[in-house]
Structure 1
Amino acid sequence: MSIKTAIVAGVGPLNGLGAVLSRRAAGEGLHVFVAGRTREKLEAVADAIRDGGGQATPVVCDVTQEIDVVALFRQAEETGPVDLAIYNAGNNMIGKISGMEADYFERCWRVCLFGAFLFAREAADHMSPRGQGTLLFTGASASMRGREGFAAFTAAKGGLRNFAQSAAKELGPQGIHVGHVVVDGGIDGEKLHNLVPQYAAQRAQEGRLIDLEGIADAYIYLHGQKPAAWSFEIDLRTHAEPW
């Protein structure tokens, strides 16, 4: 019998959410297809998983390109049925409305929302004939509320949340568990510490950076829920985060 597989889209550095989600999925006995844009980073994550006794395959994939997403799911299915699919793509994109280039707004939408549609469609098409599977999306503070200077990101993430809710209602009766994880605050990972080290250090001192393993716990919890007691959404923040 073939091993079940997982796909994690939006994988970056080793000390990042995509990498931690990939490692935790492998810990559940799944062969993980680690997908993202940078081969070097993907191979590092896959190597780390294999060094820990898990199974992983790195796949370079642009989630905004239909041909890439279709090929990603086909490759995973050749190894085994996709049991878990996580859409973690989409970085925080800052910018004021006045003077914003149209291409900037569209790029944010394409990564956060259009790519999510392509990913969800392929997950549904592969999971629904078997009547089981878990499809999870990474949300953000912007999923719930708008802020000055974050219009493009808020529009995309708010749209993603509504899309995920529609998908949950449509696909749930087909046996597919759709969930949305709101990460309400900065993540204590490599990306934030490298991009804005002073900000990250201050937030860490205040106890306002969210633990990577704690976030991953929520995804694994959702994946393990019984069909008679499914959650659609979990929101995560530190004890010190004002909300």
Structure 2
Amino acid sequence: MAEKALIVGTGAGLSASLARLFKSEGMEVAIASRSPKKNADLADELGAANYRCDAADIDSVADLFTAVEADMGAPDIVVYNPSARVRGPVTELDPVAVRDAVLVTAYGAFLVAQQAAKRMEAKGSGTLMFTGASAGVKGYPNSSCFAIGKFGLRGLAQSLARELQPKNIHVAHFVIDGGIESANRPTPADNPDSLLNPDAIAESYLHVHRQHRSAWTWEIELRPWVEKF
């Protein structure tokens, strides 16, 4: 039976690369975002189910998992990609905008993880993966909002790894340390490999998913070879 993958927070970058790779490996793929219309071409290309979901809304996340389960069964792999940020000096940030960003980056991850864990515990297996950033390991100036969200995301993943891995549920957090290449953000000709290739990142997600449970990774850092850290 084909594995089933759900990617929450799908767009044209890393999540699209994940969807294509999972599909090429014979998986059934479901994608979800706030605006399914923007993913219509990707869904058509892959024959993927395309859902609307506001990751920071309790009912929206619950409805997503109910719909996915009814349409294709409980997912074996769930990837959480959404994040939001507000940049600027702490004295000038809009508190409401910061709250909303943290809800997407960290609280939404909890909501998705809770729904996924219930189903994975019931069947005794699964993989739950979170897309993090270097901001979850070190806080940068004028990036307090992003640091709150990504530190929270990393803490959630670490806690869930300790809680769920003994139940045969693989939890992994990916520190993406650097910019990701895209059509709108091409790698500079004079600085090759300075941006992460999304297809290469996706290969690492697949590798982690397929690790033997006698040697699981809970966290992996990915960065260009020219990136300072």
Range of TM-score over shorter length:
over 0.9
More deviation in 91-100 or 162-171? 91-100
Question: Aligned runs of 1:1-243 on 2, under 5 Å?
Answer: 3-13=2-12, 16-50=13-47, 56-78=48-70, 79-190=72-183, 193=185, 202=188, 205=191, 207-243=193-229
Name the stretch that deviates more: 86-95 or 109-118.
Answer: 86-95
Counterpart of 1:129 in 2: which secondary structure?
helix
Q: What is the aligned residue count?
A: 228
**Partner SS, residue 30 of structure 2:** strand
Note the alpha carbon deviations across 1:174-231, whole angstroms, 9 max, x for none: 111000011000000135x2xxxxxx65597353101111100111011111111100
Shift of 1:96: 1.8
Instruction: Give distance in 1, aligned partners of 2:147 and 2:4.
Output: 32
TM-score normalised over the length of structure 2: 0.94
SS in 2 for 1:85: strand
The 1-side partners of 2:221 and 2:174 are apart by: 6
Runs of 4+ in 1 over 3 A off after TM superposition: 200-204
Q: Is the CA contact (8 Å cut-off) linking 2:4 and 2:75 kept in structure 1?
A: yes
Identity %: 36
- For the 8 Å contact 2:85–2:98, the answer to whether it is kept is no
Conserved? CA contact 1:86–1:137, under 8 Å: yes
After superposition, the Cα gap between the structure-2 partners of 1:205 and 1:156, relative to the gap in structure 1 and judged at 3 Å, is same
Q: Aligned partners of 1:155 and 1:112: how far apart in 2?
A: 9
- In 2, the alpha carbon distance for the partners of 1:189 and 1:125 equals 35
Cα distance between partner residues in 2 of 1:237 and 1:47: 31
CA drift of 1:163 comes to 0.8
Kindly report the root-mean-square deviation, in angstroms, between the aligned alpha carbons of the 2 structures: 1.6
How far apart are residue 95 of structure 1 and its match? 2.3
Normalising by structure 1, we get a TM-score of: 0.89
Distance 1:120 1:165 in 2: 12
